[in-house]
Chains A and B, each alone.
Chain A
């Protein structure tokens, strides 16, 4: 398309340029407005070396405590995932365009978007305020926050179901339950499993920080040891957390390979 009118051509070049101008302005604004002294990074080398050296050797006397705390985080992630599976099954169904009228699925979709937009740490703080300290607010926070994403994924899986084989089975005399079991479920199951395992991995990582706001798990210990400069103990925690997370990821990879 060739603009013949000179005004039109000027407008077209402006339309092409303005996104770059906006992005450039945003970068300038961020750089100039903040109080950043890059010289401090240059001087940080010694300090980093110092606290790395203080991490060694890791203080294994708290290994038992570290394992227990990490397992508590794992329990929070597992129970939080169960919670978000239940909520996502219900909300995902309601959010699926092929299942409900627009008057229902559009608001439910918007609600899911809002749920995943609220940062987990904020939800956790509110939950601690509501039900007190410990793993329970952590589980509730994970379940709430993760439903925002998993509910959307479940809705996508439901919307992706091809209706033709469902109609074919009905024509062959299958009941509603049989159609769900043999035509709908086989189409969705691999997606549901993949999405759920993925969300569980995210839940596990995200739940590591819950302890910082008193919502249970290993995060509380990491925060305490780092703040009191006991880097050797923090190192032990880090090692154990990394080991357990890696183990879970291996298990997930194996689980995912089962489904395609």
Chain B
């Protein structure tokens, strides 16, 4: 790895993808460079390709065409990246994807699995470094007080913070979040975005999150990428993205959302 490589968290060149049985590309002709340390908001109407793009960067998308380099590892369209590469990219799932019958602490500790040896983990042997990373992640996410509760006893907002803490415990260089503030009231949504922004800054990693609330999302990002019909419709600073352009991007939204209301937020 050269010094130039580490400047970039991800480099995508001419990426196309289409889900089996679909007539339209889910993402098409994506050229995109993420610089290390950036906080990027990914906006666009439903079905614009936000989740597809995020799962591509996470190395979970199979069957894409084009070049995709994430943290200097070239992704293979046919198989998942090697374990150590997967550990470097953290993902916060929209539905949280927690182990319901496990405690909060166990769920957060699962974020460390990519960094411990297989045998040690199978026998529940985690190092001091692992334990302190878990504690730090829980403290950052503000969930220490209920760390021994089971995940299925928590409220939606608490579960969200557990999902974030699991990602923080992983100490990823690139953090991806799929709709981290959907289903949250505006106050909580701001808190979560603040938390993500701060921790990413503190840990010197890169953040990309998708959102259906562009105005709110733009406040916590230093770069906005708008997707429309699988292509990039805008890529630049949040300041330059005016409401006219935003309305245009959402104009042909055929999804169930109501963008005109969200623009006010």
Contact = CB atoms under 8 A, between A and B. Distances in A.
A and B found bound together:
yes
Interface of A: 162, 164-165, 167-175, 177-178, 181-183, 186-187, 189-190
A187 B101 CA distance: 6
B110 A170 contact: no
Nearest to B101: A186
A190 B150 CA distance: 14
Nearest to B85: A173
Contacts of A175: 83, 113, 118
A182 B80 contact: no
B111 A186 contact: no
A182 B58 CA distance: 21
Contacts of B115: 173
B60 A169 contact: no
A42 B238 CA distance: 93
Given A162-B100, A187-B100, A171 B86 contact: yes
Interface string B203-239: 0000000000000000000000000000000000000
Contacts of A182: 99, 102, 106, 110, 113, 121
B95 interface: yes
Contacts of A170: 80, 86
Interface in B60-74: 60
Contacts of B59: 171
Nearest to B150: A260
19 contacts: A165-B98, A165-B99, A168-B97, A171-B59, A171-B89, A172-B86, A172-B113, A172-B114, A172-B167, A172-B170, A173-B113, A174-B83, A177-B118, A177-B122, A182-B102, A183-B110, A186-B99, A186-B102, A187-B100
Interface in B164-188: 166-167, 170
A182 B91 CA distance: 18
Interface in B7-28: none
B60 A167 contact: yes
Interface of B: 58-60, 80, 83-87, 89-91, 93, 95, 97-102, 106, 110-111, 113-115, 118, 121-122, 166-167, 170
A177, A178, A189: which has the most chain B beta carbons within 10 Å? A178
Given A186-B99, A186-B102, A168 B122 contact: no
Nearest to B116: A178
B101 A172 contact: no
A33 to B, nearest CB: 53
A190 B152 CA distance: 14
Contacts of B99: 165, 182-183, 186-187
Contacts of A173: 83-87, 113-115, 170
B90 A172 contact: yes
Contacts of A186: 99, 101-102, 106
Given A164-B93, A164-B97, A171-B89, 20 more contacts: A162-B100, A168-B91, A168-B93, A168-B166, A169-B110, A170-B86, A171-B59, A171-B86, A172-B86, A172-B87, A173-B170, A174-B113, A177-B118, A182-B99, A182-B110, A186-B101, A186-B102, A187-B99, A187-B100, A190-B101
A167 B96 CA distance: 11
A170 B97 CA distance: 12
Contacts of A162: 100
Contacts of A167: 60, 97
B171 to A, nearest CB: 11
A181 B101 CA distance: 13
B113 A169 contact: yes
A182 B99 CA distance: 8
A258 to B, nearest CB: 13
A172 B60 contact: no
A164, A173, A189: which has the most chain B beta carbons within 10 Å? A173
Contact of A178 (B90, B118, B166): B118
Contacts of B101: 186-187, 189-190
A186 B95 CA distance: 19
A178 B170 CA distance: 15
A177 B99 CA distance: 16
- Ordered nearest first, which 3 A-B pairs have the shortest CB separation? A173-B114, A173-B87, A168-B97
Contact of A165 (B89, B97, B118): B97
Contacts of B113: 169, 172-175, 178, 182
B60 A171 contact: yes
B122 A178 contact: yes
A173 B86 CA distance: 5
B95 A178 contact: no
